[in-house]
Every structure is written in C-alpha cells, then in structure tokens.
C-alpha cells in the first residue's frame, strides 16, 4: 500500500483552471504527478458518464476544475457542473464508492498556488483511500 500511486483524471476548463495549472508551472511550484489533464473548454462539458467510465476503468480519483461562481466564461457552465456533481455523488454512494474520490474545485487563472495545493491534497486523500474497488457501471 505504501507504494500505491493513484491514477487521477483531471478535467480542467481552458479559461480558468487549465491556465491556473499553467501558472503553477511558470511559477515552478511542485506537486505530485498523479493527475493527468484532459482539457475541456468548460467544466460543463464533463458528462457524468465520463466520470463513471474513469472509475470503472480503474482511475482512483477524478478531479474537475472550473471558474469561480460568476466568472464562467460561458456565463453559467460552472453552475451546471456543480449541480451535476452533487447528483453524481449520490449515484457514487449507491455504487458503494467513497464520494471523496470525486472533487470539484473552482480555481482561477491567477490561482496557480491553489492548483498546486489542491493537487497535493487530493493526491494525499486518494492515497489514504487506497486503490479503487472494482465496480461495473457501464
């Protein structure tokens, strides 16, 4: 268990969190390498089915980063994301999954530090939760 390196999918919106992640890079902040990014134009592009697929294929955590409330480049996409995630967490509970494996966070383009810190925290959290149990939700 000590050597457990979680596999994490990070869906980042292009306008805020992806730029925030870039800023963490240009500022040379360090964080664990477990999260791999899939860039979307808006967090609202992330379909709950993608998240379920990630868990069923063996990802240990899923992270979604969007713009702060009121700052969505597409006016209201982040609110739609928030509602979807709340509902999806209920589904995860029913599947017997710890809902802490799924995390939604608002990180702006100027918050490189918040991105790096969130990656550290989330990776630590998933490490504590251990590898994902086998589920089938296809």
Question: Which spans of this chain sit near other proteins (rule: CB under 8 A)?
Answer: 7-9, 15, 19, 21-22, 24-26, 28-33, 36-42, 44-50, 53-54, 57-59, 70-77, 80, 84, 108-111, 116
CB 89 → other proteins: shortest distance, Å? 16
CB 43 → other proteins: shortest distance, Å? 9
Q: Residue 78, class by beta-carbon neighbours within 10 Å (0-12 exposed, 13-18 middle, 19+ buried)?
A: buried
Q: Which residues contact 73 (CB under 8 A, 6 or more apart)?
A: 13, 14, 15, 16, 42, 67
CB 76 → other proteins: shortest distance, Å? 6
Q: Which of 47, 8, 14 is nearest to 31 (CA)?
A: 8
How far is Cα 68 from Cα 89, in angstroms, rounded to an integer?
20
- Quick one: 9 or 92, whose CB is closer to other proteins? 9
CB 81 within 8 Å of CB 43: yes
CB 35 → other proteins: shortest distance, Å? 9
- Quick one: 96 or 138, whose CB is closer to other proteins? 138
């Amino acid at each position: 268990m000590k050597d457990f390196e979680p596999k994490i999918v990070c869906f980042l919106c292009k306008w805020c969190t992806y730029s925030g992640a870039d800023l963490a890079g240009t500022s040379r902040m360090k964080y664990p390498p477990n999260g791999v990014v899939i860039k979307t134009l808006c967090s609202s592009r992330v379909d709950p089915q993608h998240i379920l697929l990630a868990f069923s294929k063996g990802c240990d955590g899923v992270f979604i980063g969007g713009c702060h409330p009121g700052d969505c480049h597409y006016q209201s996409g982040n609110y739609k994301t928030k509602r979807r995630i709340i509902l999806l967490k209920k589904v995860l509970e029913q599947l017997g999954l710890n809902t802490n494996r799924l995390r939604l966070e608002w990180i702006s383009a100027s918050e490189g530090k918040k991105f790096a810190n969130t990656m550290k925290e989330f990776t630590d959290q998933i490490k504590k939760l251990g590898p994902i149990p086998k589920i089938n939700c296809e």
